[in-house]
Structure 1
């Protein structure tokens, strides 16, 4: 059996990225494709900006309507492992999702399933537990929303979710790490449960509990929640988990990174939820470290393992560039990059761009400097209250402020359509955080660009970043390869996966 994620590679340098086969596996089905075949060479900065003339402008109806480029998913490799794995489907019509849900799928211009949907939906409809590893932007939200809605519509006649009582008894629970992601999942579930009678409620911290409790009192079939607010509601005896038939955990690796494991374990194991095998559980994660393997082992029963793309890697729809920029030159370099990008945009419009920085103070300072310099920008980080975060996201999505300066809080599950460019103004200290950051672009089958500012202060990331780019069949600049070969100093600063992160009070 292959060693799990987190094992040390043969040269002892960093964790390997094997295809992990869970211990209960009996069969293994593999669909080989050369997903990462690209060819070509890395463009120079100005040439690379040319792609923005086709991205993220009001004239492009397909983008603004959220239409997905399904053809871009055709060559993604998929591995399914487990006993009696249901076969994948090629169209939604092959799955008995029900007329109401199928009509909503058509209304939303879903032409055919993405790879994760093609495999995950039949598995879930068959009633099987699922551990799915899929890259951001792969369509995984629909992969668990569709089965949950369909199964509730199919079976709820014998179940009661009557409103008007103080204690809510949802049939399905979807847990996600952040309020932004919870709201996005809620919007998706509401959209696809349109005119079905399925009641959906979202609960998250950072907002008054009263309104959320009143919504729960009206009745709820599907509850979307963050761990902290959910645990609070359960302890106040306003939510009961005894009727839960379906449990989905999204961005599970991010929840563990954020320190939610004790709360999640308490919710799932100690607060009255039906045990594994009685409830159906789906766990989704972009990476598969040993902690997630343990969580899957404890929460799931006779589960099927699904890996879409290369676990913990980046998609080949994202073109990655590394630029050597000293700290003192970062602002001027960013300005030149944004100016070139604006000049290449249709009607001189700025493409939606996310700029990642390390600290909250740095985010606010850079936002102010950009806005003062003629580049409308907004900022999002952990100190923003919910209203400010929602206002910033709305302003960014509409293009009123097409540049969003963010700390890693914005990388944790945010699904912002049509982001054309991600700039790592400050590189993270962890390669998984880098993968999550650049995953804000190249979503829904569309191409994107990711630029990283690198200098000797980021030496601990050089080797991991080089290997990531090589996995994606992208050309690594010769000067950067030389940095990757240098010895790394500074005490524990050369850990390449699951390394020390910026403390939460710096986010």
Structure 2
């Protein structure tokens, strides 16, 4: 098998010039893009293991559009059924929308349209778009579906989502989808696409545990595995991490206000001044709302993002945060995975998450696209936090950061439990023979 030669300059990429325009503003490919593009453009299956903010969307998006364009996508299907040929599965509606927006922008010059399919909103508009998928409209032909597994399976069962023509499949944040219990849905969806021998399958994950390996082995053919960094969950090396340990959790609000002043955050933010964006994470929806109101009372322009909000309200909050209309956003973990907000300067963990994995993904919202970032974590040792102190200290230690304040808590590392199978989950069952591996 010939070795894979990374693409280290955009000029080396043999794709249509309209796709090249998507790189405007970027100096060079990211490591995951550099190593994924060569085998992907050859039609190989790929497993990509990389930290958050590494440019995975373009890593699979460019080969997807290139393949579609080369196949003369405007020719109608012989069966007259749905013309969907690219399917992207994502664990959350926010990530699905974000990926849809990117692929829609890539496809627009070629008349290729995308449909986003996710829960939390009425089905009817999505059903209407899918029923019209086989028809060209305004010069655009819908060939891409991006969505969450639950809603896609729901629409498949209603007979309005035909995936029989899908020959390019992407699983994004595969570890998260498995952890959320989507495995059966994923398998059912994949079985409705073209057979593995006729389909190119791209799979991306932040980690590479046995559960993910076994899933990959059942629907990929001799994949190339690209690992950027480590197979294990590690924090983004460009994020400076610090921890503040509290004896009295009631003093968190005052410490947060003092911290925002120290970070030189202006209470009134000029629209577009987005380099100073600060993302504050709370554990519960009510807590997020309370912190949001407290910050508003103290004169800050702030938005909130949590599960009790309607989808339009969530999208409005995200847009206002991205463009700098509101310089602060308080969010629950619904925003921790996958969201690409390029100019977040700092992440503040007002409350520690339920798992250290979620901590790593939270702080991955800053330090994206090669930039540096900062994370500050409030830690009280209450309730669930005490049992996570050892594992949290390990992440800080591996990054070379101070964790002295955590040493008063037990430094044992709890055995990892599966969300569905608990402590009885075996993570040591050998997977079938692994794919070709590239470590960048």
Shared topology, TM-score over 0.5?
yes
Question: Which of 245, 248, 261 is the aligned partner of 1:339?
Answer: 261
Deviation, 1:479, is: 3.3
Secondary structure at the residue paired with 1:342? coil
Where does structure 2 lack aligned partners over 5 or more consecutive residues? 136-140, 421-440
Deviation, 1:448, is: 0.5
Deviation, 1:157, is: 5.2
Cα deviation 1:87-145 (Å, max 9, x = unaligned): 2111122221122212x234x32332110000001111111111111111001110000
Distance 1:418 1:408, change over 3 A: same
Counterpart of 1:19 in structure 2 is none
Work out whether residues 430 and 498 of structure 1, in 8 Å CA contact, stay in contact via their aligned partners in 2: no
Matches within 5 A, 1:29-178: 83-102=1-20, 104-106=21-23, 108-156=24-72, 160=76, 168-178=82-92
Where does structure 1 lack aligned partners over 5 or more consecutive residues? 1-82, 489-493, 502-507
Pairwise CA RMSD? 2.5
Distance 1:141 1:246, change over 3 A: same
Cα deviation 1:343-394 (Å, max 9, x = unaligned): 5899897921111111111111111111112122221112211011111112
Distance 1:499 1:450, change over 3 A: farther
Number of matched residues? 405
Question: Which of 224, 235, 238 is the aligned partner of 2:157?
Answer: 235
Question: Which of 391, 404, 420 is the aligned partner of 1:478?
Answer: 404
Cα deviation 1:232-285 (Å, max 9, x = unaligned): 22112212111111000111111122222221111112xx21222221100001
Question: Which of 373, 385, 389 is the aligned partner of 2:314?
Answer: 389
Work out whether residues 269 and 326 of structure 2, in 8 Å CA contact, stay in contact via their aligned partners in 1: no
Q: Is the aligned partner of 1:324 residue 2:324?
A: no
Give TM-score scaled by structure 2 length: 0.86
Secondary structure at the residue paired with 1:156? coil
**What is the rounded CA distance, in whole Å, between the counterparts of 1:379 and 1:85 in structure 2?**
47
**What is the rounded CA distance, in whole Å, between the counterparts of 1:450 and 1:189 in structure 2?**
30
**What is the rounded CA distance, in whole Å, between the counterparts of 2:390 and 2:163 in structure 1?**
45
Deviation, 1:497, is: 4.2
Work out whether residues 358 and 407 of structure 1, in 8 Å CA contact, stay in contact via their aligned partners in 2: yes
Work out whether residues 292 and 304 of structure 2, in 8 Å CA contact, stay in contact via their aligned partners in 1: yes
Work out whether residues 85 and 304 of structure 1, in 8 Å CA contact, stay in contact via their aligned partners in 2: no
Give TM-score scaled by structure 1 length: 0.75
Counterpart of 1:9 in structure 2 is none
Secondary structure at the residue paired with 2:127? helix
Counterpart of 1:185 in structure 2 is 99
Counterpart of 1:495 in structure 2 is 414
